[in-house]
Structure 1
Amino acid sequence: MKGFIALALMGIATVAAADDVEVAQAQPVVEQYTYATDLDVAHVISVTPTADVCEVVPAQMIYEDHQGQRHILEYRVMGNGCSNG
């Protein structure tokens, strides 16, 4: 009985490891935004918070297009750390 349980646990661990490999391979490539980038945004999943510095910093948006494909778009934004006076 103990052998059967150990064998079952090894099988579950193998399936879980295979799922981790598929998730790692399915990670989309980070695309760099330019003014010529043709965006097809159906649903925004997340946007990184803007840093509290007074300079241009990178930010990322993860979104899905109308075909359900997930994208990571990197773009530049002005930080939130500048004073108004």
Structure 2
Amino acid sequence: MNIRALIAAVSLLSLAGFAGLAQADDLQPTPYRYGMPLEIKKVLSLTEPSTPYCEVVTAQMVYIDKAGQTRDISYNKLSQACTSAD
């Protein structure tokens, strides 16, 4: 009886962990504000929407801060089309 209860508890905790991971992916990045301290230790990814036009886009940066926490911010920048040579 105790083994069945233990297996059930472990199964429920595993499912709760997967649900938590799924919710973490749905979180929106923190919008960058001028002067916001970032304390970047390592940049993991830089992404932006692809556009053929030179325009302002919202880019995203995922990084590890000096405390070892993964952070996700969004910021405005000129698109890559602005730097491409025609």
* Corresponding position of 1:18: 16
CA distance in 2, matches of 1:30, 1:14: 29
**Which consecutive unaligned segments of at least 5 residues does structure 1 have?**
none
The structure-2 alpha-carbon separation of the partners of 1:29 and 1:84, relative to structure 1 and needing over 3 Å to count, comes to: closer
Counting aligned pairs with the same residue, the percent is: 27
Q: TM-score when scaled to structure 2?
A: 0.65
Counterpart of 1:70, as a letter, is T
Cα RMSD of the aligned pairs, angstroms, is 3.0
CA distance in 2, matches of 1:15, 1:31: 29
The structure-2 alpha-carbon separation of the partners of 1:26 and 1:78, relative to structure 1 and needing over 3 Å to count, comes to: closer
* 3-state SS of paired residue (2:54): coil
* Corresponding position of 2:59: 59
**Which consecutive unaligned segments of at least 5 residues does structure 2 have?**
none
CA distance in 1, matches of 2:16, 2:72: 24
Counterpart of 1:65, as a letter, is D
Between 44-53 and 24-33, report the one with greater CA deviation.
24-33
The structure-2 alpha-carbon separation of the partners of 1:43 and 1:28, relative to structure 1 and needing over 3 Å to count, comes to: farther
